[in-house]
Amino acid sequence: MRLLAFAKLNVTLDVRERRDDGYHEIDSLVQTIDLADRITVSRCERGVSVDNDLVGLRGRDLTEVAAERLLAAKGGGGLRVIVEKRIPAGAGLGGGSSDAAAVLAAGDRLIPPRLPERALLEIAAEIGSDVPLFLLGGRVRITGRGEIVTRAGAASRERFVVLVPLIHCDTAEVYRRFSAGERSEGRRPPGENALLVPALAAYPALARYHEAIGTLGADRAGMSGSGSSFFAAFRDVSASAVAAERLRERFPEAQVFVCAATDAGQQIIEGDPE
């Protein structure tokens, strides 16, 4: 099977108290977008094989973890996974989590019998906080540490201009700054990203990108996740194209994408056995 594994934007992100398990409670409105990695999943006799072209991978590949957890739940079998990256890493766009969710969705179809939806969501939550949202995708609200996912209406009709600097944000460091007192709720309108102030404190070079995204005349703008990506949303498609060109001229070192919302976390493009 071949799939597109979509990225996400945290349209809003509220971070609350630290839990006993070390995670923070969050409440976030999330929209998946058509910036996507390409995932190929096939059956093999046994075990897991992963070919991922991501440069500078730190820690275990989440697609490998997803394949192993799925095979354990199925009671055996084997999966080969090929990941072709397009979603920038370390940018708050959820690429690794989306890839893992795509492997779960594909592997579940390739190796019968199908698991109940709840069982698949539980496996996803064990892999990472953002993984469950991609099994549903579209416009969703995530709560708890991110593992509780509910529909939040139809997918947005806006175009999203996404600006990705050459800065990789360490999520743990941003949360550490938040916990150390960078919350500063009074300095941000309700509903925006609670991690913006600590991200700017941890990575001062982000400030120029944050400033620029706010000068585009967008209907709304913000930072996704713990950074480093920023987005501007436009109801006018032509305005989004003009804004993207302005950003490319100003920041030739950065990546700029114009994205549409999706109504799912992944899309099967070839080889669905069902």
- CA separation (Å) from 249 to 184, 215, 228? 33, 14, 19
Confidence of residue 94 (pLDDT cuts 50, 70, 90): very high
Please identify which residue in the block is written with the tokens 């400033």.
211
Query: Could you tell me if residue 196 is inside a domain?
Result: yes
Please tell me whether residues 97 and 205 are part of one structural domain.
Answer: no
Please tell me whether residues 255 and 176 are part of one structural domain.
Answer: yes
Query: Has 8 been annotated as catalytic?
Result: yes
CATH number where 53 lies: 3.30.230.10
Please tell me whether residues 23 and 145 are part of one structural domain.
Answer: yes
Q: Is the pTM of this model over 0.85?
A: yes
Which of 119, 153, 187 corresponds to the end of one domain? 153
Please tell me whether residues 6 and 142 are part of one structural domain.
Answer: yes
Q: What is the dihedral of CA 44, 48, 53, 54, to 10 degrees?
A: 150
Mean pLDDT of 30-57: 91
Which of 103, 128, 153 corresponds to the end of one domain? 153
Mean pLDDT of 129-157: 94
Which position among 8, 14, 37, 99 bears the catalytic label? 8
Please tell me whether residues 231 and 106 are part of one structural domain.
Answer: no
CATH number where 172 lies: 3.30.70.890
Query: Could you tell me if residue 84 is inside a domain?
Result: yes
Domain span including residue 147: 2-153
Which position among 20, 130, 236, 272 bears the catalytic label? 130
What is the number of structural domains in the chain? Answer: 2
Q: What is the separation, in whole angstroms, between the first and last Cα of the chain? A: 11
Please tell me whether residues 31 and 54 are part of one structural domain.
Answer: yes
Phi, psi for residue 111 in degrees, rounded to 5? -120, 100
Confidence of residue 273 (pLDDT cuts 50, 70, 90): confident
Any residues with CB less than 8 A from the CB of 12 and at least 6 apart, and which? 28, 29, 191, 192, 193, 222
* pLDDT value, residue 21: 76
Q: How far apart are CA 153 and CA 4, in angstroms?
A: 22
The share of the chain scoring above pLDDT 70, in percent, equals 94
Please tell me whether residues 70 and 110 are part of one structural domain.
Answer: yes
pLDDT digits (tens, 9 = 90+) for 149-184: 999 999 889 999 999 999 999 988 999 998 876 444
Closest CA to 196 of 216, 210, 208: 210
**Do residues 193 and 221 touch, judged by C-beta distance below 8 A?**
no
* pLDDT value, residue 225: 95
Please tell me whether residues 73 and 207 are part of one structural domain.
Answer: no
Which of 126, 153, 180 corresponds to the end of one domain? 153
Please tell me whether residues 175 and 136 are part of one structural domain.
Answer: no
Please tell me whether residues 101 and 177 are part of one structural domain.
Answer: no
Please tell me whether residues 214 and 140 are part of one structural domain.
Answer: no
